[in-house]
Amino acid sequence: MSQHRSLKGASTLGAKRNVLKRFERVEILKKRGLWKPGDRVTGLPKTKPM
């Protein structure tokens, strides 16, 4: 019996994600100079992936 395509692992799909994880957003904000150590990690501004 074959496996349904929606049940395959994320690594095999290869699609580009359009939502960033929190640590990815913090890294982008650090590069842009908009986030400093000690700032809150909740309520981050929206960012576009690079």
**Residue 50 and residue 28 in contact, taking contact as beta carbons nearer than 8 Å:** yes
- CA 22, 38, 50 angle in degrees (round to 5)? 35
4-46 confidence digits (pLDDT tens): 888 876 565 567 777 888 999 999 999 999 888 888 888 888 8
**C-alpha closest to that of 22 among 50, 45, 6:** 45
Q: Domain span at residue 22?
A: 1-50
> Structurally, how many domains does the chain consist of?
1
d(CA 7, CA 24): 26
Specify the pLDDT at position 31. 92
Specify the pLDDT at position 1. 77
Left if phi > 0, otherwise alpha if psi is -120 to 50, otherwise beta: which for 30?
A: alpha
